[in-house]
Amino acid sequence: MIILGIETSCDDTSISLVKKNAKGFKILSNVVSSQIKIHATYGGVVPNLAAREHLKNIEPCLKQAMKEAKNPKIDLIAVTHGPGLIPSLLVGVNFAKALAYNCKKPIIGINHIEGHIYANWLDNSKIEFPVLALVVSGGHTQLVLMEKHNKYKLLGETRDDAVGEAFDKVAKLLGLGYPGGPIISQRAEKGNPKKFNLPRPMMNRQNFDFSFSGLKTAVLYEVRKTWGQSPVKLGLSPDYINDMAASFQQAAIDVLINKTIKAAKKYKVKNVILSGGVAANQELRNQLQKAVKKELSHVSFKMPEIKLCTDNAAMIAAVAFYKQSLKLLIREENKNKFFCSSLTPNYKKKPTSKQSWLHINANSNLKLFT
Ligand code: KG4
Ligand code: ZN
């Protein structure tokens, strides 16, 4: 089957065509149009500007994705319907509905976090359950236990900032621009991670929750101690920035790894998987892989290739395949013989015949867990 994925939850417009057959997944196209240049001026994503750009870019992205995939016949349309920025989500959801109506194809709403997790299934490697997923993005930091496809238990999450958000805010206060993750990791390569003694918030608590806002504040106080009240305007020295970037990055990585290993031991998982935009961080990838190998002898480790870590529509299409194969779709026929399918936002409950594709709504707080 061929699935058309649509992703517009934040500041990337993405359309992908993914083929799934007995051999596995094949990404036929995965077009991503980034808005970084526009939002960089403001130091972060401006929701209404993001929506305007999605509107402008979504049709060209569809055309390019179809062309690269050689115009295949589509069987199912999958669209991110949350969580995310409402103005951005609305563009994708309404575009997908119009497309489904026009092409008379079934449509399914997909949770963005679930998409990040399922980026790990796109390369067709065998992932045995139970699985522990560490989800690290600009909006979320969660440890999720999966006993099987479509069954999630939230073990812990951030109580304040997401880890990607902390990367972005620290980059801003060091005067490095937006988005912070890639710049911090580049600068950290040249710095000394032991130079500044930053806190590892909540690392020794007996739960799986995180907190990153205190770490960001600790960086701010440390910078002010040396450089005064308006450090960025003064212009920090390049060596100082490199050392601070490396020390901050290492503090964040230590907490993420510590909690992931503890959770993997407690729940006796067979696989640890990494996902979300921050999973593109090379140091986190290397160190988590090493820690799993060293501390969890019978556990495998998996992470998506870097370009599938940040927002993209192929991961959304991957989830859709598992949803339809689990028969979580309903079929409905309206007066015009127009077939469409939908999925309840609450994936644990099977949809009722009253639920229609028309009820796929953009939901900024959509949860994977009930
Ligand atoms: O998953 P994603 O693309 O969007 C959300 O769902 O939020 O994640 C974006 C986040 C941003 O905070 C960005 O700074 C971070 O991922 N990020 C990184 C790296 N590349 C992107 N963080 C650390 N290191 C990176 N190399
Ligand atoms: Zn994301």
Are residues 250 and 174 located together in one domain of the fold?
yes
Q: Which domain holds residue 6?
A: 2-119+310-359
111 CA to middle of ligand 2, Å? 10
Is the CB–ligand 1 distance for residue 82 below 6 Å? no
Can you name the residues that pair with 311 across neighbouring β-strands? none
Domain boundary among 268, 284, 303: 303
pLDDT at 328: 58
Does 277 share its domain with 146? yes
User: Which residue's alpha carbon is at the smallest distance from atom 8 of ligand 1?
Assistant: 277
Q: What is the pLDDT along the chain (370 residues), one digit of tens a residue?
A: 999 999 999 999 999 999 999 999 999 999 999 999 999 999 899 999 999 999 999 999 999 999 999 999 999 999 999 999 999 999 999 999 999 888 888 888 899 999 999 999 999 989 999 999 999 999 999 999 999 998 899 999 999 999 999 999 999 999 998 999 999 999 999 999 999 999 999 999 999 999 999 999 999 999 988 877 665 556 789 999 999 999 999 999 999 999 999 999 999 999 999 999 999 999 999 999 999 999 999 999 999 999 999 999 999 999 999 887 766 555 544 434 344 444 444 445 555 555 567 778 899 999 887 5
Q: Do 158 and 35 fall into the same domain?
A: no
Say whether both 314 and 284 belong to one domain.
no
Ligand 1 site, residue 168, Cβ cutoff 6 A: yes
Same domain, 200 and 290: yes
Residue 369 covered by a domain? no
Residues 65 and 163 in one domain: no
Is residue 115 lining ligand 1, measured as CB closer than 6 Å?
Answer: no
> Distance (Å, rounded) from C-alpha 30 to C-alpha 15?
6
Report if residue 195 sits inside a domain. Answer: yes
pTM of the model: 0.93
Q: Are residues 115 and 136 located together in one domain of the fold?
A: no
Domain count for the chain, please give it. Answer: 2
Which H/E stretch holds residue 19?
strand 12-21
Q: Could you say which of 280, 303, 326 is where a domain stops?
A: 303
What local confidence, expressed as pLDDT, does residue 83 receive?
96
- Which residue has the CA at smallest separation from atom 1 of ligand 1? 277
- My answer on whether 288 and 150 are in the same domain is yes
**Shared-domain flag, residues 226 and 289:** yes
H/E run at residue 70? none
Residue 194 lies in a domain: yes
**Does 239 lie in the same domain as 169?**
yes
150 and 220, same domain (yes or no):
yes
Q: Is the shortest distance between the CB of 212 and ligand 1 below 6 Å?
A: no
Query: Would 262 be classed as within a structural domain?
Result: yes
Question: Distance between CA atoms of 112 and 315, rounded to whole angstroms?
Answer: 9
CA of 136 to the centre of ligand 1 (A): 8
For ligand 1, whether the C-beta of 164 sits within 6 Å is yes
CA of 335 to the centre of ligand 2 (A): 38
Q: Measured between alpha carbons, how far is residue 246 from residues 188, 198, 220, 251, 325 in Å? A: 4, 11, 15, 9, 44
Which residue among 273, 288, 303 closes a domain? 303
Q: Which residue has its alpha carbon closest to ligand 1 atom 14?
A: 181
| Domain CATH for 235 | 3.30.420.40
For residue 7 and ligand 1, the question of a CB distance below 6 A is answered with no
**135 contacts: CB under 8 Å, gap ≥ 6:** 113, 116, 117, 141, 142, 143, 144, 275, 276
Q: Is residue 367 part of a domain?
A: no
Contact 38, 49 (CB under 8 A): yes
